[in-house]
Amino acid sequence: MDIIKIDPENLRSSSYGIRKAAEAIWRGGAVVVPTDTVYGLVTMATDERAVTRLFNIKNRPSDRPIPVFVRDIEMAKKVACIDKKLEKILSLVWPGSVTVLLRKKDKLPEKLTAGRETIGLRIPNYKLVNMLLAELPRPLTATSANISDQPSSTKIGEVLAQFRNQFLKPDLVLDAGDLKFNEPSTVLDMTSPKPKIIRIGATNPKKLLEILSI
């Protein structure tokens, strides 16, 4: 498990780490990266072998789907069913810490969605992850960097400790030190005519309800 220290406030000085992370992901590897919520475990969401490896690293039960980062709404359209009205709503909640459940298209590994007809998508508001998405023009996994049923964390020491004694480990860790505390993403279900807020996170619920009334 290689570790590269980076400064998310100075991405120019972190370009080496970002490039190495992109190379590892492109080869099917799994990389721990800081995100706008907690440390995440990122791999290519369209690569079935990489997704299977991520499940094994996390000891994640096969019935738990994995959410996905996308670069923009055009990328989201490639993997989910999005009409014009839905696109308008998504343009108001993204980028940001809102994960939206949508009807999936058949372009993602079955394991990623745990056999469900839906997929959780998000455009993050975080430059480092957005740079990775720019380097890798495919969706990336957006799961937390932790062993299943263990807590996710913003503290790099806690993240490393969880994987240290595992047989399977992430290929690379981008160490940005301890992250600022952030609420988890809000989860919004848009798979039916009446939207549902499944989980309230960092997003202001009043503002979200105003957007959904469009």
CA distance 144 to 148: 9
CA distance 150 to 58: 10
CA distances from 94 to 86, 126, 200 (A): 12, 12, 15
Say if residue 95 is preceded by a cis peptide, omega within 30 of 0.
yes
Residue-by-residue pLDDT tens, the chain, 214 positions: 899 999 878 878 788 999 999 999 999 999 999 999 999 999 999 999 999 999 999 999 999 999 999 999 999 999 999 999 899 889 988 998 899 999 999 778 999 999 999 999 999 999 999 999 999 989 999 999 999 999 999 999 999 999 998 889 999 999 999 998 887 888 989 998 888 888 877 666 666 666 666 6
CA distances from 68 to 33, 92, 177 (A): 14, 18, 24
**HSE-up (13 A, CA, CB side) for residue 37:** 22
Its pTM stands at 0.91
Domains along the chain with CATH numbers: 2-212 (3.90.870.10)
For the chain, how far is it from start to end, CA to CA, in angstroms? 47
Q: Tell me how crowded residue 115 is: count the other CB atoms within 10 A of its CB.
A: 10
DSSP reduced 3-state for 8: coil
Q: Which H/E stretch holds residue 32?
A: strand 31-34
Give the residue carrying structure tokens 């009409």.
83
Helix axes 15-26, 127-135, angle to 10 degrees: 50
85: Cβ contacts below 8 Å, ≥ 6 apart: 214
